Structure 1
Amino acid sequence: MKAPHPQPGAASIQGALSGLRVIEMGQLIAGPFCGKTLGEFGADVIKIEPPADPARPGANGGDPLRNWRMLQDGTSVWWQVQSRNKRSIALDLRDAEGQDIARRLIAEADVLIENFRPGTLEGWGLGWETLHALNPRLVMLRISGYGQTGPYRDLPGFGAIGEAMGGLRHLTGEPGRVPVRTGISIGDTLAALHGTIGVLMALYHRAVHGGPGQVIDVALHEAVFNVMESLIPEYSAFGAVREAAGSALPGIAPSNAYRCADGYVLIAGNGDSIFRRLMDVIGRPELGSAPDLQSNAGRAARVDELDAAIGDWTLPRTIAEVLGKLGEARVPAGRVYTAKDIHEDPHYRARDMILRQTTRDGREIDVPGIVPKLSLTPGTVRSAAPHLGDDTDSVLAELGLASGDIAALREKGAVA
């Protein structure tokens, strides 16, 4: 077992969640992203991962995210972000002794995170009633496709399906064309963020009001639906079904992407005074002073005309020229950033949003920084993402198991 790989300067700050013990049973994105967030602010996150299955030669154990997308030294570089500040214990939850160890860990924990299909933990003897009786202070986050109740609860659900059912996929893409994804697993991440908020609220209730632990039930599609703005009120009041609008912001004008000589810029000129300044910059002051364009309702009615005027101005100019002139006029605008743009941007660097992290294999890699930024207890990267089972022995020793007991469990395959 390799020793944890601390990051430079990581021990100098006491995290806001220091002293909080979190058990993470989730895999891939939604549950682990919540664990990542809690860990960055000081929580001790113990990640339970399945050992390799001897019945499937060549199959990898652990969280499948370890093998997703681009690999370095046999491990996904995504893993280096998602699992930093976590400890890994390889534990077979299908095994009775593995389940017993899980119960012992949970008995001493503040938070349990899981994102299995409803009923999975109950099948392992780890349902809420059992765990609550064992640890009445436990806060349990359960993320699933459709929630723990309702007619769809037993259906398999991934983030992409949640995005579709939550209404997001219908609005992405160009009008009349196939719906597209946002380019990232936004449904999973939205569920994780809602789960994190729920955990913190439950911990506050426990600490301030003396309440017991409770369950936070997050459904992927509900997390997406919760950010869908006026979608349902507009349908309820007017029978309006909002449709895809490409890069435009329907009903809010002008706000769109505009072609330049060397790419695209996004311009948000939809504030009343901002609109007038924008029209001055593009040489159309008569539009800026038109009585019917002094409010958003009038501008929305003439959005095609406004977009055409702005597009005529941006088209022969470079992105740099457009952004320079709009910046001087205090009109919100920006280029469409690629990974390269982000990596080279001085503002990202100035705000510590690109961090240099050392993996447990000794490689250095640039990774995203930590959000949000707290003034007194900022988040930190205290240790690199673990190899599978890196911390099995130390975690079991903390439970009081002797080295001989651990060796026996390893021989039986209950731990690895």
Structure 2
Amino acid sequence: MQRKTEQSAPPAQGPLVGINVLEIGMLFAGPMASAYLADLGADVIKIEPLKGDEVRRMGRSKNDEPLWWRVTNRGKQLVAADIRHPAGAAVVRRIAATADVLIENFRPGKLAGWGLDYETLSALNPGLVMLHISGYGQTGPYSSRPGMGTLAEAFSGFAHTTGEADGPPTLPAYPIADGVAAMTGAMSVLAALVNRSRNGGIGDDIEISLYEPMLSLLGAMAIDYDQLGVIGRRRGNRSTWTTPRNTYQSSDHRWIAVSAAANSGARRLFNAIGRSDLAARPDLQTNPQRMLKLAECDGAVADWVRRHTLQEVLDVFERAGVVAGPVYDVEQLFTDRHVIERETFIEIDDAVLGKLRIQGVVPRFRRAPGKVRWPGRPKVGQDTREILARFDYSDDEVEQLLREEAIRL
């Protein structure tokens, strides 16, 4: 069933135009996965609770309007339905019967109790691709535990290896585990849709934990332990396998990040800071050699950078071909000429706040570019009536759902 878009809404564009996604998500991982699909043209319907998604009450607000909500739930149409109510769950089943994809991130087993599990929904719609994201996955002794990104960042080993050597395990300031799981989930959905196009139209049931995508980012940590018994430790901004690699403070109290992972890059760096003696030393020609002299190599760069302004450092390093760049705050990012020219941030219209800027679609397709159609809509269940009509609910049926408090208009 091809869904119609609102006449006032910008048309969908991108490689996923015509793909219908139903999201029963909360907070970040599930909603972010569907937002990535919406960016690429998918038609996304989000089911939110009658009181509104919790993200509406998180983060900063302007004029009592939540800002984070507008990013996480961009490009989605909203239905407010109580999926714990039999009639509310029936609404979800009717929409799911023609959906290509359903994304959820409840605790394992929750949806089954409401008749919204894969077995039930795939019987109605064999082509359905269903994605589950949960803290610890659908199986295993911890599967029933509540899980948040914070716990995944801790459980995966990420926090243990992040921070200063003499400091505590460090958690990120933003929900990185949710974001990584969402990206993994979106990738998995697309793979399942490709497979469906090859197997006669049969969908699939996909499950992702929050901690395992985080673990996959941690490089050689697991194999180093398996083969060598090495347990990764916190090292601040220093790498475990290459040096010089760090952030260094300039004379004007700004910061620059430097990476000399390639041996030739390390030699260019040493020459650029006037230490041709280090560049030529036989015992500093490879990363393993330099790691044995980490304090000497790192200290030489730190000493030189702190005697120069950030711009002086950047100019010298650019001429020398050193891999380095400034550590930006968000204001500096917004005003950087490269970011401006690439249109990393786009301006879109918000029904309440007017013009606002958010990040644009990340993957840039030449032939089928995606588009952020609108920010997260301000009203809870803003599209409920229109979507129910689209799925053949009569006015009388809608009024009955309202009386039963199964939906909100």
Same fold (TM over 0.5): yes
User: In structure 1, what residue type is equivalent to 2:216?
Assistant: N
Aligned residues: 402
**Cα displacement string for residues 23-82 of structure 1 (whole angstroms, at most 9, x for unaligned residues):** 00001100000010000111000000111xxxxxxxxx1111011111124231111111
Q: Which runs of 4+ in 1 moved over 4 A?
A: 3-7
Matched, 1:85 2:84: no
User: In structure 2, what residue type is equivalent to 1:15?
Assistant: G
**Structure 1 Cα separation of the partners of residues 6 and 61 of structure 2:** 21
Q: Give the equivalent residue in structure 1 for 2:280.
A: 289
Matched, 1:34 2:15: no
**Structure 2 Cα separation of the partners of residues 274 and 41 of structure 1:** 37
Q: Give the equivalent residue in structure 2 for 1:216.
A: 206
Q: Give the equivalent residue in structure 1 for 2:20.
A: 21
Structure 1 stretches lacking a partner, 5+ long? 52-60
Alignment of 1:61-210 (within 5 A): 61-210=51-200
| Preserved CA contact (<8 Å) 1:5 1:359 | no
User: In structure 2, what residue type is equivalent to 1:75?
Assistant: E
Residue 6 of structure 1, CA deviation: 5.7
Q: Give the equivalent residue in structure 1 for 2:390.
A: 398
% identity of equivalent residues:
38
Alignment of 1:36-51 (within 5 A): 36-51=35-50
| Preserved CA contact (<8 Å) 2:29 2:179 | yes
**Structure 2 Cα separation of the partners of residues 211 and 297 of structure 1:** 52
| Greater Cα shift, 337-346 or 361-370 | 361-370
Alpha carbons of structure 1 residues 121 and 114: separation in structure 2 relative to 1, 3 Å = same
**Structure 2 Cα separation of the partners of residues 182 and 73 of structure 1:** 28
Q: Give the equivalent residue in structure 2 for 1:412.
A: 404
- How high is the TM-score relative to the length of structure 1? 0.94
| Aligned partner of 2:303 among 309, 312, 337 | 312
SS, match of residue 187 in structure 1: helix
User: In structure 2, what residue type is equivalent to 1:398?
Assistant: R
User: In structure 2, what residue type is equivalent to 1:21?
Assistant: N
**Structure 2 Cα separation of the partners of residues 75 and 219 of structure 1:** 32
| Preserved CA contact (<8 Å) 2:126 2:201 | no
**Cα displacement string for residues 387-412 of structure 1 (whole angstroms, at most 9, x for unaligned residues):** 21110011101111122221221122
Residue 210 of structure 1, CA deviation: 2.7
**Structure 2 Cα separation of the partners of residues 198 and 95 of structure 1:** 30
**Cα displacement string for residues 245-274 of structure 1 (whole angstroms, at most 9, x for unaligned residues):** 101111211111112112221111231211
| Preserved CA contact (<8 Å) 1:143 1:219 | yes
| Preserved CA contact (<8 Å) 1:168 1:224 | yes
Alignment of 1:48-63 (within 5 A): 48-51=47-50, 61-63=51-53
| Greater Cα shift, 325-334 or 268-277 | 268-277
User: In structure 1, what residue type is equivalent to 2:265?
Assistant: I
Alpha carbons of structure 1 residues 5 and 228: separation in structure 2 relative to 1, 3 Å = farther
SS, match of residue 315 in structure 2: helix
Residue 353 of structure 1, CA deviation: 0.9
Q: Give the equivalent residue in structure 2 for 1:273.
A: 264
| Greater Cα shift, 219-228 or 362-371 | 362-371
**Cα displacement string for residues 264-319 of structure 1 (whole angstroms, at most 9, x for unaligned residues):** 21111231211111111111101111122221111111111011111111111111
- How high is the TM-score relative to the length of structure 2? 0.95
| Preserved CA contact (<8 Å) 1:265 1:319 | yes
Q: Give the equivalent residue in structure 2 for 1:58.
A: none
**Structure 2 Cα separation of the partners of residues 349 and 45 of structure 1:** 29
Residue 102 of structure 1, CA deviation: 0.7
**Cα displacement string for residues 178-226 of structure 1 (whole angstroms, at most 9, x for unaligned residues):** 1111221101111111111110110010013335111110000111111
SS, match of residue 169 in structure 1: coil
**Structure 2 Cα separation of the partners of residues 272 and 211 of structure 1:** 51
**Structure 2 Cα separation of the partners of residues 30 and 244 of structure 1:** 27
Residue 329 of structure 1, CA deviation: 0.9
SS, match of residue 406 in structure 2: coil
SS, match of residue 236 in structure 1: helix
SS, match of residue 383 in structure 1: coil
Matched, 1:230 2:255: no
Structure 2 stretches lacking a partner, 5+ long? none
Alignment of 1:347-386 (within 5 A): 347-386=338-377
| Preserved CA contact (<8 Å) 2:242 2:260 | no
| Preserved CA contact (<8 Å) 2:272 2:320 | yes
**Structure 1 Cα separation of the partners of residues 294 and 358 of structure 2:** 40
**Structure 1 Cα separation of the partners of residues 168 and 339 of structure 2:** 34
